[in-house]
Amino acid sequence: MQLIRWTLIFLLALIAATPLLMAQQTPTPSKATYVGVKNCKMCHSDIHKVWMQKSHARAYELLVAVKQDKNEKCLPCHTTGYGEGGFRDAEKTPELKGVTCEACHGPGSEHNGEGKITKIPLATVCIKCHMKTDIH
Ligand code: HEC
Ligand code: HEC
Ligand code: HEC
Ligand code: HEC
């Protein structure tokens, strides 16, 4: 009984604390738009260098390699912000090819080095793309 009681109390405390935990994240303002990875590179060149070495930077090239880079089923996970005012096509939005900074940190037009961007992306951001699908 004691155990059940404490488990319940713990769960309730967790639920109560959720808004607090969420508030620690700087929310990305909803009117922000995607600015592309070159913008971020200007001020975060070290992080950009690390990102370039990871597969996220090349996610779009995977589609090109299998000639699926126009397939709208693939674009949401292999580009940044597709269908959300971000990536449209490789000519119009070349800086939103692949999984760029803004795919995880949210659109950055309001940031410019003064907060207003998600500092630590939640796991839910990763899960949007890293979930089991019947695609592959
Ligand atoms: C729900 C998100 C999602 C969608 C939709 C998606 N991908 Fe992917 N894709 C991923 C992730 C995540 C990885 C890397 C991890 C992995 O291998 O599962 C990946 C890896 C790949 C790879 C390299 C690894 C491999 O399995 O060969 C190719 C090629 C690829 N995707 C092609 C495609 C194509 C083509 C489509 C559309 C028909 C597509 N993807 C749709 C998320 C997605
Ligand atoms: C795949 C998702 C993802 C991508 C892509 C990504 N980040 Fe992050 N970033 C994170 C996560 C998760 C954290 C928090 C954990 C950590 O620090 O590693 C973080 C932390 C940060 C921080 C704050 C932490 C620190 O070291 O001061 C900055 C600044 C940052 N990222 C900038 C960038 C920039 C600029 C890019 C693009 C060149 C980028 N990120 C691409 C997920 C991502
Ligand atoms: C004009 C320069 C500049 C540009 C452009 C810029 N940043 Fe920043 N960014 C900064 C500075 C400076 C900080 C540190 C601010 C601080 O410590 O509060 C920062 C902090 C961050 C953080 C951590 C936020 C926090 O609350 O500590 C993230 C994440 C981040 N930037 C991502 C990005 C992304 C993604 C882009 C591109 C969309 C970008 N930045 C473009 C200068 C810039
Ligand atoms: C917009 C979709 C998207 C988001 C958001 C995203 N990823 Fe990915 N991720 C991918 C794709 C697509 C690949 C495959 C790229 C490749 O293999 O070239 C990948 C590759 C990876 C890999 C390398 C896997 C391998 O087999 O090489 C890791 C690790 C990873 N992602 C972790 C994360 C984490 C952690 C987050 C959240 C902080 C995250 N991703 C967010 C789409 C995404």
pLDDT single digits (tens) 111-125: 988 889 999 999 999
pLDDT above 60 (res 109): yes
The confidence score (pLDDT) of residue 133 equals: 82
Give me ligand 3 centre to Cα 113, in Å.
4
Closest-CA residue, ligand 4 atom 26, reads 55
> Could you state, in order of their start, the residue ranges of all structural domains in the chain?
31-130
Q: Is the CB of 74 under 6 A from ligand 1?
A: yes
Q: Are 133 and 59 in contact (CB under 8 A)?
A: no
Closest-CA residue, ligand 1 atom 36, reads 74
Report the distance separating Cα 98 and Cα 15, nearest Å: 35
pTM above 0.85, yes or no: yes
The confidence score (pLDDT) of residue 10 equals: 41
pLDDT single digits (tens) 47-100: 999 999 999 999 999 999 999 999 999 999 999 999 999 999 999 999 999 999
Among the four given CATH numbers 3.40.640.10, 1.10.1130.10, 3.40.50.620, 1.50.10.100, the one describing domain 31-130: 1.10.1130.10
Closest-CA residue, ligand 2 atom 39, reads 101
